[in-house]
Chain A
């Protein structure tokens, strides 16, 4: 394999990996405060992209993306308030089933609003055929956007959880909900906030990846599966773990093309998911002790 080809594979892997990582981070935020996996996370990504594409008809691109993120955050809050908040005994299984229902509902709503055709945002810089040469390989500038925005998002989230008091309160909910309530933290609001945050992250991801992957009403399911794999691989709840695991999975997938037919690419990620569940159920970066304390 030539150096040029290796770099091309590496870049492709980073593209997939960053996308998976952002979706996985969305999973993690909700998991941390509620202990559930929100299977509608992929739909947040879809809403973000679709709303931005619609808004683009009326306003410039940065404003459209900003508004799309805000609107999707609002949708996230609405979903939590309508479907999760009023539950008297929110057992984990029940909430998970509810999120699956929300995911199906969101897809149906989307197909009625936007129809079944694919749409996409324009490339932020250049167009469909622009590429930047890097050490003999060529990649689209949009890939740079995806990588940069993902990195920025991880840093900002890290700061938010470590330095702000709201962030600390959310982490308190994550480690022990009852204890957090006893300390005077309104855990219900924290759950709403976690939905808002992960909806916002999903929406932003949906916007920056739209030029590369296109947006379609049913794009969420596939993303959710990959994001879920990455979240498990990195250790549920760990944002740093999600980034490393996302990039790892992406790069493995990209390089696998040189050995096995492309058709088996998804089989590889599922095999990794199964392997990790057998060998290290807490994920690469999760601690066994912390995983043992979780309800799920």
Chain B
């Protein structure tokens, strides 16, 4: 009996093993490793929903050159260990054409070499510059560089005549990398960082540290660099303390939920971000306007939540990959070459111009300084 059962199981296994690939032969498999749950879920959640929406859309229009796209999303919960094992699984077992993600910089850096060695194109949705510098032939990223955001902020400070600042950063990979960039770049703009503190991503209240930096009378402005919800607490505690110096935030503030969380304290926060947030008010000749409005409308209609720049990074990764597949077909090397050759490709983060040296493809102009007015993002035009 036992023998029969095992033989039967073998037979079933054999049939499914042969039948499944045959049935899916026309499909192009794309993997995605995203932090759908866990501490970075506010990145991975919108990213996963964006990808699901886009795949449905592409397939309903007949796929790419007649080939259907099969998307396999793995939830890494922002754990680098899980990202590594999912990357191996996607490459070795699922044999995907390319991988989109991971959501966070830490995870991406862990799987950068795995994808490079396996020669599988990776399109990261994380922003750290280390991902594309040094350049790895198969690794690309869609979010703008941190250093561009830091430079944008400092340029604005120079205009406002601010020279001494305090830096507050969340203790995530994004926060730490941003703090490094700010401290390194500040001297180039003749700005002195007189206070620098790092806060926990699960902080409940930060009034003590705000009191500390407020007591330093030299501080003319605060840069709060973080991507976690606690960044809204900084804004609240500053305004509650009756402190009204300009508050700058990073592109990690680009989610309207943080504005809602900070409420009245969010008014007047200045930060650099992609144009997706102010798509409505762009001039009609802007190359991004059409796709921004379309993405925003489709996403908001489908999921009943406001679009964020993070979902936009997944949008860019997916549309860029589809453009490369349309050119290179179901072949990793041809797709990689096609990715590197993409020029003037409008996405949500900016207009991409990839090259062999630049696997991000975005310039400083991808960022636009914004502020919060009446609970909404608007373009910042200066005082």
- Say yes or no: B42 contacts A117, CB within 8 Å: yes
- Say yes or no: A209 contacts B204, CB within 8 Å: yes
A54 at the interface (CB under 8 A from B): no
Q: Pick the contact of A262 from B39, B198, B202, B242 — CB < 8 Å?
A: B198
Q: Mark A110-125, 1 if CB is under 8 A from B, else 0.
A: 0100011110100000
Q: Helix, strand, loop or mixed for chain B's interface? A: helix
B337 at the interface (CB under 8 A from A): no
Q: Pick the contact of B209 from A129, A222, A257 — CB < 8 Å?
A: A257
Inter-chain contacts of A115 with B (CB < 8 A): 45
Which residues 1-58 in A have Cβ within 8 Å of B in the complex?
A: 2, 5, 8-9, 11-13, 15-16, 19
Inter-chain contacts of B202 with A (CB < 8 A): 219, 221-222
Least CB separation from B230: chain A residue: A214
- Say yes or no: B264 contacts A127, CB within 8 Å: yes
The complex places the Cα of A8 from the Cα of B197 at a distance, in Å, of: 18
Inter-chain contacts of B262 with A (CB < 8 A): 128
Inter-chain contacts of A212 with B (CB < 8 A): 204-205, 233
- Say yes or no: B261 contacts A214, CB within 8 Å: yes
Least CB separation from A266: chain B residue: B200
- Say yes or no: B207 contacts A8, CB within 8 Å: yes
A131 at the interface (CB under 8 A from B): yes
Inter-chain contacts of B257 with A (CB < 8 A): 117-118
The complex places the Cα of A139 from the Cα of B241 at a distance, in Å, of: 7
Q: Pick the contact of A129 from B45, B205, B215, B240 — CB < 8 Å?
A: B240
B139 at the interface (CB under 8 A from A): no
A175 at the interface (CB under 8 A from B): no
Q: How far is the CB of B134 from chain A (nearest CB, A)?
A: 29
B229 at the interface (CB under 8 A from A): yes
- Say yes or no: A12 contacts B261, CB within 8 Å: no
Among B205, B208, B236, B264, max chain A CB count under 10 A is at: B208
Q: Mark A79-101, 1 if CB is under 8 A from B, else 0.
A: 00000000000000000000000
B82 at the interface (CB under 8 A from A): no
- CB-CB under 8 A for A2 and B215, given A116-B37, A253-B208, A263-B197: yes
A169 at the interface (CB under 8 A from B): no
The complex places the Cα of A120 from the Cα of B257 at a distance, in Å, of: 11
Q: How far is the CB of B32 from chain A (nearest CB, A)?
A: 17
The complex places the Cα of A219 from the Cα of B207 at a distance, in Å, of: 19
Inter-chain contacts of B200 with A (CB < 8 A): 263, 265-266
Q: How far is the CB of A128 from chain B (nearest CB, A)?
A: 4
The complex places the Cα of A9 from the Cα of B239 at a distance, in Å, of: 16
Least CB separation from B171: chain A residue: A263
The complex places the Cα of A247 from the Cα of B63 at a distance, in Å, of: 61
Which residues 241-273 in A have Cβ within 8 Å of B in the complex?
A: 253-255, 257-258, 261-263, 265-266
Least CB separation from B197: chain A residue: A262
- Say yes or no: A131 contacts B240, CB within 8 Å: yes
The complex places the Cα of A16 from the Cα of B208 at a distance, in Å, of: 10
The complex places the Cα of A180 from the Cα of B182 at a distance, in Å, of: 64
Q: Pick the contact of B208 from A13, A127, A138 — CB < 8 Å?
A: A13
Inter-chain contacts of A139 with B (CB < 8 A): 207, 240
B41 at the interface (CB under 8 A from A): yes
Among B205, B209, B212, max chain A CB count under 10 A is at: B205
The complex places the Cα of A130 from the Cα of B235 at a distance, in Å, of: 13
- CB-CB under 8 A for A9 and B211, given A116-B37, A127-B264, A263-B171: yes
- Say yes or no: A128 contacts B236, CB within 8 Å: yes
Q: Pick the contact of B198 from A130, A137, A261 — CB < 8 Å?
A: A261
Least CB separation from B235: chain A residue: A128
Which residues 195-236 in A have Cβ within 8 Å of B in the complex?
A: 209, 212-214, 216, 218-219, 221-223
- Say yes or no: B42 contacts A263, CB within 8 Å: no
- Say yes or no: B204 contacts A16, CB within 8 Å: yes
B314 at the interface (CB under 8 A from A): no
Least CB separation from A226: chain B residue: B204
Least CB separation from A123: chain B residue: B263
- Say yes or no: B233 contacts A213, CB within 8 Å: yes
Inter-chain contacts of A131 with B (CB < 8 A): 239-242
A140 at the interface (CB under 8 A from B): yes
B232 at the interface (CB under 8 A from A): yes
Least CB separation from A117: chain B residue: B257
The complex places the Cα of A36 from the Cα of B42 at a distance, in Å, of: 35
B345 at the interface (CB under 8 A from A): no
The complex places the Cα of A253 from the Cα of B205 at a distance, in Å, of: 11
Inter-chain contacts of B171 with A (CB < 8 A): 263
Q: Mark A130-142, 1 if CB is under 8 A from B, else 0.
A: 1101000111100
Given contacts A12-B211, A218-B38, 13 further A-B pairs with CB under 8 A are A12-B205, A118-B229, A128-B239, A129-B236, A140-B236, A209-B204, A222-B204, A223-B204, A262-B199, A262-B208, A262-B209, A263-B199, A266-B200
6 closest A-B pairs (Cβ-Cβ)? A116-B41, A128-B263, A12-B208, A8-B211, A213-B204, A129-B239
29 contacts between A and B (CB under 8 A): A2-B215, A5-B211, A8-B207, A8-B208, A12-B208, A16-B205, A19-B204, A111-B37, A116-B37, A116-B45, A118-B261, A128-B265, A129-B240, A131-B242, A133-B242, A140-B240, A214-B233, A216-B229, A222-B204, A253-B208, A255-B208, A257-B208, A261-B198, A262-B197, A262-B208, A263-B171, A263-B197, A263-B200, A266-B200
Mark A residues whose CB is within 8 Å of B: 2, 5, 8-9, 11-13, 15-16, 19, 111, 115-118, 120, 127-131, 133, 137-140, 209, 212-214, 216, 218-219, 221-223, 253-255, 257-258, 261-263, 265-266
Mark B residues whose CB is within 8 Å of A: 37-39, 41-42, 45, 171, 197-200, 202, 204-209, 211-212, 215, 229, 232-233, 235-236, 239-242, 257, 261-266, 305
